[in-house]
Amino acid sequence: MKESLNKLKDKTRELMVLSNIGSVLGWDQQTNLPEAGIAERAEQITLIQALHHDRITFPEIGELLEDLGCSDDAPGGTRDLDDVSRSYLRAVWREYSRAVKLPARLVTELARSASLSQAAWVKARQAKDYQAFAPHLDTLLKLNLEKARCLGYQDHPYDALLDEYEPWMKTADLRRVFRDLRTYLQGLLARISEAPQVDDVFLLKPYPVDRQEAFGRTVLADMGFDLSRGRMDVSAHPFTTSLGCDDVRITTRYNENFFKTSIFGIIHETGHALYELGYSQDIRGNILAQGASLGIHESQSRTWENLIGRSRAFWNHYLPRLKEYFPQQLSGIDMDDFYRGVNKVEPSLIRVEADEVTYNMHIILRFELETALLEGNLTVADLPLAWNDAMRDLLGVVPPSDAEGVLQDIHWSMGAFGYFPTYALGNLYGAQFFQRLRQEIPDLDRRIEQGDLGCILAWLRENIHVAGSSKTATELLKEVTGKELSVEPFSRYLEEKYSDVYELSGM
């Protein structure tokens, strides 16, 4: 049994190397690739995806898993193994059993189409031309529907695709969670809309990009991001990617006239990177060295960005330093002004720049559109109109062009149907984890005000990061908080915070 386990680890270690090579190609495509190289890059990525699929579906992988007692009923194999080994086997069995259901032809078509689609999306977004992108999206939708049929599902094709990003989560569960979340958020937003609006005009002044970057790098370092194990670049859409255990890349984007874009993008992506850099030594380099789910991954970035980065304690420490970089822009702005400004609630067009109250409405919108596309109740041709109608219904705003509307996110160009809900789940997981963190570090605000972000990273490392995907999202949440997933901690957090920002009366 030990020999079979070691053989399997050798085989899957190669899979991680192939994945990292694919990440190098993807990172380069979004940061440095010249336009003329797009077609060849698509072929390169396609080959890597084909090799990965070939390796994970190799008959010897199945034989080794069988030798170790793995099956649909016992994905972790024989109970004679230790817990880490059983978690490892569960992860390998899950990837293997999904991969063998997908024909190699479909895997390569998806990889090639997604690579070409991402390049087309960048150009279409710049030109505000949805019609130029629509054929690529139509192809990816059809391929994803075929993928869902191959993987199999009981209730909804979305289940098969969602499972790739949030394992074991079901569409029906999401609908229940989002129903409760939507009801609360609409009520809170209505109350806020009746209160006097806060003033954030000082954030819309020109903030030179070089000083934005300098300040952002200061915060990045304070958070604990080791630049000997990673780097930060610029891309059209901020992202984090791992090219290896000791090579994690993040990107951001800058808007000279909207300071929040870069700083909160940097804090957000650094939260992801810290998770990737925090896996324990005994799982580094194998399949467990990844997040428990994308929702858990997002809980780390959203916790740093919002629960910490938009907190009063955080800016009590950083506002004086920020004024050193931007003395004219922030002249006469006191702590209350700044705190309210960075927490202003106002329905807006762009998801990544949305406030904490309206952000999840953007996710609910995308979830509803995705499921309608997969059900056949919405066509790719009608998507822009459906998008605009949903924005009007949910947030009361309508995009002036498709660049600020249906083309704003990269995910559909990647063929990543099922990805968006993990952002909202991340907010819920994050609030639940943070509630526990506060209980265990009762003087947290004082520490943050003193610039001690290390205590937060240490707690996250010990309780969340080191485990990687050795625990499921549900197992991890239950172990850390003692509770199942709930909207309540997040709604309580929003209630307390925005009652302060907008001086709201109790519900």
Residues 186 and 142 in one domain: no
pLDDT value of residue 372: 97
In a domain, 165, yes or no: no
Q: What is the pLDDT of residue 236?
A: 80
Range of the domain at 293: 171-501
User: Exposure pattern of 139-157 as b/e (b: 16+ CB <10 Å)?
Assistant: bbbebbbebbeebebeebb
Cα 171 to chain center, whole Å?
18
DSSP conformation class of 75: T
Whether 96 is in a domain gets the answer yes
CA dist 186 → 147, 183, 191, 364 (Å): 35, 5, 9, 12
Same domain, 215 and 85: no
Report helix, strand or coil for 231.
Answer: strand
Active site residue 60: no
Are 195 and 309 members of one domain? Answer: yes
Quick one: 100 and 179 in the same domain? no
Residue 164 lies inside a defined structural domain of this protein: no
Here the CATH number for the domain that contains residue 467 is: 1.10.1370.30
Q: Model confidence over 418-440: pLDDT tens digits?
A: 999 999 999 999 999 999 999 99
User: How does DSSP classify residue 304?
Assistant: I
Claim to verify: residue 320 and residue 447 sit in the same structural domain: yes
**Residue 166 domain-assigned?**
no
Cα gap 163→177, rounded to integer Å: 16
Query: 196 and 146: one domain?
Result: no
Number of domains in the chain: 2
Give the pLDDT confidence score for residue 465 in this predicted structure.
98
**CA distance linking residue 60 with residue 11, whole number of Å:** 9
User: Which pLDDT does position 291 carry in this prediction?
Assistant: 95
What is the spatial distance between Cα 29 and Cα 35, in angstroms, rounded to a whole number? 9
Output the pLDDT for position 353. 85
Of 120, 152, 184, the last residue of a domain is 152
If asked whether residues 122 and 182 sit together in one domain, one would say: no
For 242, phi and psi rounded to 5 degrees?
-105, 125
Give the residue ranges of DSSP H helices in 68-200: 83-99, 104-127, 130-151, 157-165, 171-193
Indicate the pTM of the whole model: 0.93
pLDDT recorded at residue 506: 60
* 398 found inside a domain: yes
Residue 158 covered by a domain:
no
pLDDT score, position 352? 85
Last residue of a domain, one of 125, 152, 179: 152
In the set 35, 95, 164, 269, the catalytic residue is: 269
Query: Is there a domain that residue 506 lies in?
Result: no
338 with 485, same domain: the answer is yes
Q: What share of the chain is helix, strand, coil (3-state, %, to 5)?
A: 65, 5, 30
* Structure confidence by residue, pLDDT tens digits, 47-85: 999 999 999 999 999 999 999 999 999 999 999 999 999
**191 and 99 in a common domain:** no
Is residue 93 in some structural domain? yes
Distance CA 170, CA 155 (A): 9
Query: Within this chain, do residues 312 and 369 fall inside the same structural domain, yes or no?
Result: yes
Phi-psi region of 239 (alpha: psi -120 to 50; beta: other; left: phi over 0): beta
User: What residues of the chain score a pLDDT lower than 70?
Assistant: 506-507
For position 1, what pLDDT does the model report?
84
